[in-house]
Structure 1
Amino acid sequence: MDYLLRRGYAPGVYDLFHIGHLNLLREARQKCDHLVAGVVTDDIAMNLKGRQPVVPLAERVEIVRSVRYVDDVFVESHEDKLRTWQELRFNVVFKGDDWKGTARWQLLERRFAEVGVEVVYCPYTTHVSSSLLRERLDSPRPPRQADMRKHILQPLGEEGDKKQNHSY
């Protein structure tokens, strides 16, 4: 491996792919020469988030693979990021800055520093997340405008029907 090459790794669930995911991958790609996106398995997502992803793993992989900023996709089937590093040998890892300062990532920063991996936090897109999207999908929605018309308009009787039969 060419050590002058800045090889980046951007792990995530990438469920309900949205603009925040795209922003992270774009930002990461601008800061490295080769970007590998790590898509975690459903089991890992369940352990990390406490729920299964909405989008199946194979589809999440294909979606992320199709993003032009991504050079390769790696299916992450374990939670040990150092083990992933041993397999991929990246020298910079990218994560949303909402993870900065968490116990998990403070520990990872120390462990990665020991092997020469830089941790770069990318700006978090605050107005959207998979959790917010999932919440919106799960919450009762107001009726659509077409559904509301059914409740507002009264059905017409025979007399009303005749009035509607205009010939132009």
Structure 2
Amino acid sequence: MRQIVGYASGVFDLFHIGHLNILRHAGSRCDYLVAGVVTDEAAEQMKGRPPVVPLVERLEIVRSVRHVDAAFVDTSADKRLAWHQVRFDVLFKGDDWRGTPKGDRLEAEMAEVGVEVVYLPYTVHTSSTHLRAALDALTGPAGPVSDAGR
């Protein structure tokens, strides 16, 4: 019997319970889960700002999650590029994408290569955006003030 390969991609910056929930739910719905970790450059292009945590560290964190069988460096918003390398059967996204223009576009692109898009519950109360805003409120948008050089 053929294994079902799942793919869940994200920036996974400031790793939190929402990230864990997506990976846990995705891992329970496939035989082999590949987590795509978006590069710093692609994340900045998609979100308009760079991640706080560097790619190599985000990869190590995601790779260490027991629900993840492999981690993959994801270089583009176009998931067809990742599919050509990983050959997944199912792509998992948070249900905040369902019924949106970006979700509809993703479904159409994945249909081109025979991949099903499965939406998983989005953790509303915690997000990297909320965490980043809280950090900015504490430290200012430029980051913490350093004592170096004083």
Structure 1 segments unaligned to the other structure (5+ residues): 142-168
Q: Which residue of 2 aligns with 1:70?
A: 68
State how far apart, in whole Å, the 2-side matches of 1:47 and 1:17 are: 20
State how far apart, in whole Å, the 2-side matches of 1:68 and 1:11 are: 16
- Which is higher, the Rg of structure 1 or of structure 2? 1
Quote the offset at 1:98 in angstroms: 1.1
Alignment of 1:28 onto 2:29: no
Tell me the TM-score normalized by structure 2.
0.89
Q: Which residue of 2 aligns with 1:15?
A: 13
Amino acid at match of 2:91: V
Quote the offset at 1:24 in angstroms: 0.3
State how far apart, in whole Å, the 1-side matches of 2:29 and 2:123 are: 18
Quote the offset at 1:37 in angstroms: 0.2
Quote the offset at 1:51 in angstroms: 0.6
How many residues in Structure 1 have an aligned counterpart in Structure 2?
Answer: 139
Q: Which residue of 2 aligns with 1:131?
A: 129
Structure 2 segments unaligned to the other structure (5+ residues): 140-150
Q: Which residue of 1 aligns with 2:38?
A: 40
State how far apart, in whole Å, the 2-side matches of 1:97 and 1:21 are: 13
Q: CA RMSD in A?
A: 1.3
Which of 85, 88, 92 is the matching residue for 1:87? Answer: 85
State how far apart, in whole Å, the 2-side matches of 1:111 and 1:74 are: 20
1:99-118 to structure 2, matched below 5 A, reads 99-118=97-116
Quote the offset at 1:114 in angstroms: 2.5
Quote the offset at 1:48 in angstroms: 1.1
State how far apart, in whole Å, the 1-side matches of 2:7 and 2:14 are: 20
Alignment of 1:53 onto 2:30: no
Amino acid at match of 1:74: F
